[in-house]
Structure 1
């Protein structure tokens, strides 16, 4: 094809047909440009097709990650609800709405538990590394980014809550209420661990407990932290549901 074009140009020049030569040269340039544009269009189409296929595959992984996240989040939320109820029950006893009883030891030890959500990040890391976030439609991109931003805020709240346990609640209980570590504590691990302990058990000193304002503030703080984290986990479940529904659509 190139040889044919060259021969035509040479014939036109040798015959002195300069005007026709110029017209032909312009036409040839136009054809070359059109050919380049067609090739670029095909290449862009192929690249876009590859990108779309990659996004579809990665969104399937994201669905799997989010479903696993939801299982973990629901377990954490249910556990938090139990801890919030334990704090509430202990405070009810402190306010003498209910008399102190054997369950108090269980309520106090339950509030030692720390919480940490560990999200699955395989899909979002791959999507980021592949620079596919800008290729998602606007609404989906927004909810995905919002979900992972919410995870970061949840981690901050977990850190605050766990630090409060480590530096205030747990040290105070260990020092002032060591009697919670006995076999008559009905919480699973403690009950099982001390079940063969032959030593006599004792109850929490009710008078001391009812007057303990420091413990009261710690219990209120634990209730608040549990309630706040519970809200964060619920928001993450709602946000992940929204992403899953959009991916399905």
Structure 2
């Protein structure tokens, strides 16, 4: 009888231990399932975020490319033509002075205006500012990121600054020339109903003999050369960045 009780106790203990072991295995299994679920959820979330980040990056790179296109268009349609006006006007007055040829008042007024016409260099940076506010690290490729920062923080603001400085340098000289040698006659009715409703007169002989005008000519020559050089340089930089963006967008879309 005692032996039977002993075996019964041993059997019950073994059953309890087996239950404990089974519970332990069950607990481990539950933990593994929970961890696996978390890892899967994190993986899916990470994948979804990576997809969204790539879409955003492609979008912003496209916007940056569009900004560059707008600036290139302004170069070709606005800034280069104005520099050409400066160059042609300088050539006109140089020829008049060197050959002593006569020029009409209309020619002289037109070329004087073209000699002193200037521009403020503007560039489209909306996409860059939007990207900067959201984090430039959204551009994954460090080479592309570095080039874009260099363009919008260095090259473009630099040419805008120098253009502004050149304009300020010539403003006082040209204003003085106009004040001394040019007189505009506006019709009494003030209505622009003629091709040349705003006419004027210019004392060309006195102006060409004015030392201030010769100083203006020299400054225009220097400034125009510098502007064209800077425009050529920034155009190359813009085109290089555009090609870099196109290649990066194509890579991300693969």
1:52 paired to 2:65: no
Deviation at 1:133, TM superposition (A): 4.4
- Name the counterpart of 1:39: 41
Structure 1 pair 62–135 and aligned structure 2 pair: CA distance change class (3 A): closer
> What TM-score results when the alignment is normalised by the length of structure 1?
0.72
RMSD: 3.3
Structure 1 pair 13–82 and aligned structure 2 pair: CA distance change class (3 A): farther
Unaligned runs of 5+ in 1: 1-11, 184-190
- Name the counterpart of 1:111: 115
Deviation at 1:71, TM superposition (A): 1.4
Given that residues 147 and 241 in structure 2 are in contact (C-alpha distance below 8 angstroms), is that contact kept between their aligned partners in structure 1?
yes
- Name the counterpart of 1:176: 180
Deviation at 1:111, TM superposition (A): 2.6
1:156 paired to 2:161: yes
Structure 1 pair 91–172 and aligned structure 2 pair: CA distance change class (3 A): farther
Structure 1 pair 124–248 and aligned structure 2 pair: CA distance change class (3 A): same
1: CA distance, partners of 2:211 / 2:150? 40
Structure whose CA Rg is larger: 2
1:131 paired to 2:135: yes
Q: How many correspondences in the alignment?
A: 222
Given that residues 62 and 123 in structure 1 are in contact (C-alpha distance below 8 angstroms), is that contact kept between their aligned partners in structure 2?
yes
Deviations 1:135-168 (A, max 9, x none): 24123223322221211011101211221233x2
Unaligned runs of 5+ in 2: 1-13, 187-194, 248-254
Q: Which moved more, 1:103-112 or 1:148-157?
A: 103-112
Corresponding residue to 1:213 among 211, 214, 218:
211
> What TM-score results when the alignment is normalised by the length of structure 2?
0.71
Higher relative contact order (CA 8 A, sep 6+): 1
2: CA distance, partners of 1:173 / 1:163? 15
Structure 1 pair 133–77 and aligned structure 2 pair: CA distance change class (3 A): farther
2: CA distance, partners of 1:49 / 1:202? 67
> What secondary structure, in the 3-state scheme, does the structure 1 residue paired with 2:116 have?
coil
> What secondary structure, in the 3-state scheme, does the structure 2 residue paired with 1:205 have?
helix
Corresponding residue to 1:87 among 84, 90, 98:
90
Given that residues 86 and 116 in structure 2 are in contact (C-alpha distance below 8 angstroms), is that contact kept between their aligned partners in structure 1?
no
- Name the counterpart of 2:145: 141
